Amino acid sequence: MPRHVLSGNAAARGSALGRARVRLPHVLNVEEARIAPEDVETELQRIHDAVDTVRAEMHILRERLHGALAHEVGEFLDLHALLLDDPELLQGIDALIRTGRYSADYALRLQRDRIAAVFDGIDDAYLRSRIDDIDQVIGRLHAALHRREADLQGVAGEILVTDNISPAELAQLQVQGVMGVVTANGSALSHSAILARSLHLPLVVGAAAALQKVNDGDVLVIDGSSGLVVLEPNAADLREHHARTSNARREQRQLNRLRREPSRTLDGVDIKLWANAESREDVAEAHALGSAGVGLYRTEYLFINNNEIPDEDTQFRAYRDVVLGMTGRTVTIRTLDVGADKADNTGLALRNEPNPALGLRGVRLSLSRPGLMHTQLRAIVRASGYGPVRILVPMISGAEEMFAVRDMLRAAMHEVARDGSEMAEKIPLGAMIEVPSAALSLPMFIGACDFLSIGTNDLVQYLLAADRNNDALGDLYTPLHPALLRLLRDVVRIANRRGRPVAVCGEIAGDAMFTPMLLALGLSELSLHPATLLEVRRAIRGCDLASLRAHAPALLRARDRAGIERWLAAHTPA
């Protein structure tokens, strides 16, 4: 086969060389098959055994996950587990086998098509897209029926070429030694792309021609930085790939030298780098990399990973261990943030919300269950006796919520003190600014805040009315939008005037490409995944803060994404 170059979108940096493994879009090509009456019970047992097999597979995968993977992938595994237990799916299959006398395979296909027809009629694009989750569960069941591994099994040295990929699949493939992934669809800002960057797994998305041009066994070179895919590379392509991998190894060695270096600009200003964490492993890595502390500790994994709501002592021990792990550096604990696409096994997150991204989630859910919030606050207050702790409240939309949480914290501290437990005299309380109304009404409630953290992932989504997981909106969902920059500038100004520390904790904080822009807008604190901390530290050490701030007016005058990109290109350290 002659050399061919395919173009896609860069989603996760890195260069990979390997044999192609092509997975076509999921279609159950199952012919209609009827069974004899005496075979009905056998077919029912087959499908029930398949369900048990898939449930066990997902449990094993979850047990292998830790750190960021436990959080990111766990959300999708939990959703798939809920679908697997959905009576509509299982009872429908049973009925087709009993009354229609269909084989288990064909009944599975018919039930999938029934559900797909319902999803096709849903107006909401987010809910309509969940058919992908149905297909992934159906695919696992079909594989289990024939006692073979599900399609997402990979082989070391392969590059997967597929239409799209879920975070759960990415995690499993990376463990199996797959070198990289090319998708015909997908967005560079999706959950899968974010996870791929954390895993350092090269990913190219939106390579529309890949499924038509690439065959199993073809040799591919993919460049996750440029978005190019080379089919049957020549000698020059191989040399370029080897040069990229050599440069990457050299760059990593250089980054490792920064582990003990300060996050200080060229003109001598220290920038505080916090770490996002949800596990002991993340905390240990953050400590080793010299982070200022934990800027965002996600507590929802305690709820997502359990079948019942964790009690106060369970939560206290988890928070205490994080505090001890940071050996005196501040730990910022975010209160429960389930809802939207974060499924849990405790029944807290509402099922079948018409618009989950705008539903009962974050602080809204906590305030609707005051006993739940009170228990969590008591656990955090008790943990504060072991080291400095801050509390961060997600999804604040206005003053009333912040004042309500402030009152609940005061009550929890009073109770813990009365019980005689050791605790801090003061526990700073902060608000996550991720809802536009919170940013616009900030002057009305900043007096109730000791610090702020800007969650840009949701802020961009809500500000631009663009779902980051909707492929069709990939060009619209971007932090490089003039409206976002102005909103960030305004939040920082208000915080500075009131003497309140403010950090960015969204995805852009961990992307070194955006570091000059954030510094220019007045930010001096960033909270990011430990995996990207050294890259951002290097970017900071190459920036002249005074110069960036002097050129901030030009950045804010940019009228579109192209103008912002030109500013970044002109002010990115060499």
As annotated, the active-site residues are 191, 505
| Complete DSSP assignment for 363-429 | HHHHHHSHHHHHHHHHHHHHHGGGS-EEEEETT--SHHHHHHHHHHHHHHHHHHHHHT----S---E
DSSP letter assigned to residue 34: B
Element (H, E) at 246: helix 235-256
How many angstroms separate the CA atoms of 280 and 326, rounded? Answer: 10
- Other beta carbons within 10 Å of 548: 21
Rounded to a whole number, what is the distance in angstroms from the first to the last CA of the chain? 39
Edge to edge, what strands does the sheet with 219-223 contain?
Answer: 4-7, 228-231, 219-223, 15-23, 158-162, 180-183, 203-205, 9-12
How many angstroms separate the CA atoms of 145 and 454, rounded? Answer: 47
Element (H, E) at 218: none
* Residue 304 C-alpha from the chain's centroid: 14
How many angstroms separate the CA atoms of 543 and 265, rounded? Answer: 5
Cα-Cα-Cα-Cα dihedral sign, residues 460, 463, 467, 472: negative
Q: At what angle do helices 40-64 and 167-176 cross, to 10 degrees?
A: 70
Buried b (16+ CB within 10 A) or exposed e, 155-166: eeebbbbbbbbb
How many angstroms separate the CA atoms of 529 and 512, rounded? Answer: 12
Phi then psi for residue 434, to 5 deg, are -135, 0
